[in-house]
């Protein structure tokens, strides 16, 4: 019985030693209330998140567990696909023709909300 209690205590400690770090990525002031928002979060060459979200009105939030990435630089890319072709279109001079974002951030312990805005070029 004593061994069982010790085993349960050790298992519980192992499970709680790595706390989940749930974060919210908020994409604010979406320029148009139509189309699809494509979001990608990567760490180096490793994909953490790839998601396509329908755009209605207002802000869009994405919940993600970043507990494995505390203190590591992450890349966030997003664009609002307005014509439904599933890719970011560019103008004749090479600027994005649809609202887009490309940035980096480093998740920190205790900070769970991160806000981003797409840019219209």
Residue 14 lies in a domain: no
Q: Encoding tokens for residue 115?
A: 């806000």
Residue 70 lies in a domain: yes
What's the domain count of the chain? 1
CA distance 67 to 110: 11
Over residues 25-38, mean pLDDT = 96
**What is the pLDDT confidence band of residue 4, given thresholds at 50, 70 and 90?**
very low
Residue 103 lies in a domain: yes
Residue 72 lies in a domain: yes
**Which pTM value belongs to this model?**
0.81
pLDDT at 57: 80
Contact 37, 4 (CB under 8 A): no
Residue 6 lies in a domain: no
Residue 58 belongs to a domain with what CATH number? Answer: 2.60.40
Per the prediction, the chain carries an average pLDDT of 88
**What is the pLDDT confidence band of residue 19, given thresholds at 50, 70 and 90?**
low
Residue 65 lies in a domain: yes
Over residues 104-112, mean pLDDT = 95
Give the model confidence (pLDDT) of 42-63 as tens digits. Answer: 999 999 999 999 998 878 999 9
Over residues 33-43, mean pLDDT = 97
Give the model confidence (pLDDT) of 82-105 as tens digits. Answer: 999 999 999 999 999 999 999 999
CA distance 121 to 119: 6
């Amino acid at each position: 019985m004593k061994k069982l209690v010790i085993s349960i205590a050790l298992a519980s400690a192992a499970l709680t030693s790595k706390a989940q770090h749930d974060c919210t990525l908020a994409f604010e002031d979406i320029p148009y209330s139509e189309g699809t928002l494509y979001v990608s979060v990567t760490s180096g060459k490793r994909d953490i998140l790839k998601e396509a979200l329908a755009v209605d009105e207002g802000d869009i939030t994405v919940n993600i567990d970043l507990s494995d990435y505390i203190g590591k630089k992450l890349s966030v890319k997003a664009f609002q696909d307005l014509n439904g072709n599933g890719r970011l279109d560019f103008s004749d001079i090479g600027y994005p023709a649809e609202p887009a974002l490309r940035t980096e951030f480093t998740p920190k312990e205790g900070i769970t909300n991160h806000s981003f805005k797409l840019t219209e070029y």
